[in-house]
Amino acid sequence: MPPDFVRIISIALLLLSTSACPCRGEDNVTSKARPNIVWIVVDDMSCHFGYQGEPLAQTPNVDRLAREGTVFTSAYATAPVCSTFRSAMITGMYQTSIGAHHHRSGRGRLSIELPQGIQTVPEIFKQNGYYTCIADARTEKKGKQDYNFSYDQNGLYDGIDYRDREKGQPFFAQYHLRGGKLRNVESWYQEVTNRLQGEVVDRNQVKLPPYYPDHPVIIEDWAQYLDAVNYTDIEVGRIIERLDGDGLLNNTVVFFLTDHGISHARGKQFLYEEGIHIPLIMWSPQQLGKPQRRDDFVAHIDLAATSLQLAGIELPEWMEGRSFLNQSNERRFVISARDRCDETVDRIRSVRMGDWKYIHNTYPDRPYLQPSNYKDSKPFMPILRELHKSGKLNEAQTLQMRNTRPQEELYHLPTDPWELNNLAAQPDHIETLAKLRTILNQWEKNTNDQGQTPESEAMYDSDMNFVLKKLKTKNPEAFRQYQENISLMKRWQRQGK
């Protein structure tokens, strides 16, 4: 970490502790107020904003945060899917450590309880005098929670709007944006185009990653995604404008991040860069006009510890997230984990360290793209399967279509940013492979990775029955597909596959 960064943050904390915190109609309020903390969390977006070099992104508001704040270029999600990511984010714990590692788990007859003593971030803020709120930036209603453990859905947060707090009270606010989910849903995407006033991305300029074929359906899907990126920037601008209009930006720290990568074949739910490498920006006016670029590794669970430290709250001993304000806390590597997603059973772990990415697949005899009602309902999936069946995909494009996968994958990202050339079997890289494998094995032991034990059939059935009950009348075709996929998962398990 640059030495002056710690100095700047220390000065910022001093300034924040003596600055004003004007609420609506309280322009002259002065108190030794602690900073307001704002999280802007976006669904389903990879690193495709203007400040990251995406040529088709028109994102002046996010780019402003990046230009004036601290950009973390090596930020990673510890989980590549919504509910596991959010369970980890809101506790500052690896989802695998708290038993929240299976996507949308604990929703049925059998529930999941947090380990004794572990609390959520909003609970800790509330105990320390903060007003806590969570909002959907698009609808201005309660925002997305989606945690894989039992919690009081009305108790973690005081409300949805920081304006409802007590006079002079600091607040912890979350804004959740639908991001990449705004494509593929006609009414939502129509809202995007209306807001963009028809200035959508030129489909002829869309450039896909080399592992996706240049098919019109896939290009259109990617273009809609980039339109959603541009729409998201407008939403971010509205949030910042509102804070500014309320006179709060002089005492507010804003974090901007996404919850994982784009929902695509190699993105969301998987541990390639498209799925886990996320944008992360910290913005505060107290950075004294000295924006920072940080290249050290940051895990998204570090957001919890950093926010608490900014608020002057002592960090719980149990919290696995590290404040990235402290130089001694810099991470040598980051670990990410994918487990069951909906009905599809899987277990993948990755280590990102230095120039390298190591991936371990627990089920190498299964297809990379196992049957999944969620994934298979996306417009790009039938196209990919059809092109693969007819032999029209090149070598890079067939990687995700194979019926088996290697148990270990090793990629040198500076020379192979798309993770196409697996070096795990190369004699020249035996030492690197062994080192990263050892790091992963030790991490699994040190953090009590609960994914090491397969999910019980009783818990699996509990969650599946919860979903099937809703689908039976709402979507009969999805109900049928879900049942088929569940049967297949159980058959493969019995076969030891």
pLDDT at 12 over 90: no
pLDDT band at 115 (very low <50, low <70, confident <90, very high): very high
If you average pLDDT over residues 436-458, what whole number do you get? Answer: 98
Contact 161, 139 (CB under 8 A): no
CA angle 368, 374, 380 (to 5 degrees): 70
If you average pLDDT over residues 201-214, what whole number do you get? Answer: 98
Q: What pLDDT is attached to residue 289?
A: 64
Contact 288, 11 (CB under 8 A): yes
pLDDT at 16 over 70: no
pLDDT band at 27 (very low <50, low <70, confident <90, very high): very low
pLDDT at 95 over 50: yes
Q: Say what percent of the chain tops pLDDT 70.
A: 93
Q: Cα torsion for 481, 404, 82, 284, to the nearest 10°?
A: -160
Count CB-CB contacts under 10 A for residue 402.
Answer: 12
pLDDT in tens, 124-147: 999 999 999 999 988 889 999 999
pLDDT in tens, 38-63: 999 999 999 999 999 999 999 999 99
pLDDT at 14 over 70: no
Q: What are the extents of the domains in the chain?
A: 3-329, 456-497
pLDDT in tens, 306-350: 999 999 999 999 999 999 998 778 999 999 999 999 999 999 999
Contact 271, 77 (CB under 8 A): no
Nearest Cα neighbor of 30 from 15, 18, 42 is 18
DSSP strand pairing (70-76 vs 277-278):
antiparallel
CATH class of the domain at 3-329 = alpha beta
Q: φ and ψ at 380, to 5 degrees?
A: -80, -25
CA distances from 141 to 123, 159, 205 (A): 20, 10, 36
